[in-house]
Amino acid sequence: MERVDEGILAIDPGREKCGLAVVDGNSVLMKMVINRQEIVSQVKAVLPSQGPVVIGDRTGSKEFVSELLLSMPHIHDRVVLIDEHRSSVEARERYWRFYPPTGWRRLIPVSMQVPPEPIDDLVAVILAERHIRAGSTK
């Protein structure tokens, strides 16, 4: 992934894995699910030179922000915590819109299914979209 000049870097921190996305306006420039141990180095690799660093405010958030700022104190003014409430539910619904179930899975309501792959990257995209909708300038 090539570093961009502007955009929102969004992170869904977790204990074992994290979602990471770079969003510019309506475009998702990149999204990925990363092991927790690799997230800070990956943030360093893709951090846009300008724009906010949006971080979900739930699981593992406080520890993650501390670790990130210890490693990258220069981004302190760019960090924005965003409400993660129901973001995983929203990401699961979005996953099933993108990848509708096939075969016997199509007979089971998607609300009763778990996506077959991690959706933390979609959660990160949703956090960036929430930041955009909030109209934040930070």
62 in a domain, yes or no? yes
95 in a domain, yes or no? yes
What is the SS3 assignment for 96? helix
Q: What is the mean pLDDT of the chain?
A: 93
Query: Terminus-to-terminus CA distance in the chain, angstroms?
Result: 24
pLDDT surpasses 90 at 47: yes
Which percentage of the chain shows pLDDT scores above 90?
A: 89
Determine the Cα–Cα distance for residues 52 and 42; give it in Å rounded to an integer. 16
Handedness of CA 59, 61, 66, 69 (dihedral sign): positive
Residue 60 pLDDT: 85
Q: What is the CATH number of the domain that holds 92?
A: 3.30.420.140
Packing angle between helix 39-46 and helix 61-71, nearest 10 degrees?
A: 60
pLDDT surpasses 80 at 58: yes
DSSP code at position 105: G
What is the SS3 assignment for 3? coil
pLDDT surpasses 90 at 114: yes
Residue 5 pLDDT: 76
pLDDT surpasses 70 at 2: no
- The pTM for the full model equals 0.92
29 in a domain, yes or no? yes
Domain coverage including residue 60? 8-134
What is the SS3 assignment for 53? strand
Residues with Cβ within 8 Å of 82's Cβ and at least 6 positions away in sequence, in order, are: 54, 55, 56, 57, 127, 130, 131, 134
pLDDT digits (tens, 9 = 90+) for 67-111: 999 999 999 999 999 999 999 999 999 999 999 999 999 999 998
DSSP code at position 99: S
pLDDT surpasses 90 at 1: no
Residue 135 pLDDT: 84
69 in a domain, yes or no? yes
Q: Work out how many domains the chain is built from and give that number.
A: 1
Determine the Cα–Cα distance for residues 31 and 33; give it in Å rounded to an integer. 7
pLDDT tier, 136 (very low <50, low <70, confident <90, very high otherwise):
low
